[in-house]
Amino acid sequence: MNEDVVLLHGGAGSKDSFSERLSKYAMECSNIKDSLEAVIHSVRLLEDDPEFNAGTGSVKRIDGSIQMDAAVMIPGKLGSVIGIERVKNPVEVARMVMEKTPHLILEGDGATTFARKMGFHDYDPSTERSENIWKKTVEYLSGKNEEMPKRYENYLKFSDMFDIPKSTDTVGAVARIDGKFAGAVSTGGASPMMRGRVGDVPLPGCGIYVGEKGAVVATGIGEEIIRRMFCHNIYMQIGKESLRNILEREVEAFNGIEVGVIAVSGDEHASFSNTSMATGLFSR
């Protein structure tokens, strides 16, 4: 019988030194006997940790708002929220979408209204860290800082659209328990970003994909992950060669664009990133 595995990541660009913390979070799943429960518990811990860009600690958009995305998936079932606001644990709301509605995805104020009906109280996820990132974004986009990171340059072309003239990380988990697979992902977005921007996290096949062969979740530059249907692409190759080789080849195809991925199959688990990416593992 193959071992049970819970594998976490703290996002592309997260400090490798956080891996010890993620391993402790993964170990909290030692008594959980269900793969979906394990990934949701893991991601909820990461959403509650202000060091990570999900839930508490989410980054602000250019207009100063916080809109979060999350998704959960098991074979044949998906729950996803897009642009949800003022909730503590978006991953829990995504689960409710999957289990309590006839829909797969809820977005915006509809997702927030649904969360309230499900008993999720109003919660402000902003922190001093997210406020400082936002202030720096305003500074860059207003032209007050000449040392501007390259990723901000495209936004200057559309500066007339903004009311004001780093963080691409996501958190995620995959699990295989009693041979059953699950995945969960959550993010506060990327900085800079326009209000309403949607990345890869809540889109099945892009930031997450789970089927009968395994579970895959991604992190990194969302637009590039979406263009490649990254997680579904990896999933379709499971079983053709070693999982590690598949992840390495697909990440390297991004040619340096920041991306990372974790995955489990029927008999393997693996992670790979072209940048720093904290991971945590529990197996038995």
- CA dist 58 → 72, 75, 225, 236, 279 (Å): 18, 28, 20, 32, 19
Catalytic pick among 56, 112, 168, 219: 168
Length of the chain: 284
Integer Cα distance of 39 and 144 in angstroms: 42
Known catalytic membership, residue 168: yes
Of residues 170, 130, 168, 163, the one with CA closest to residue 149? 168
Output the CA–CA distances (angstroms, integers) from residue 25 to 9, 62, 64, 240, 282, in the order listed: 11, 32, 30, 31, 9
191: DSSP letter: B
Catalytic residues: 168
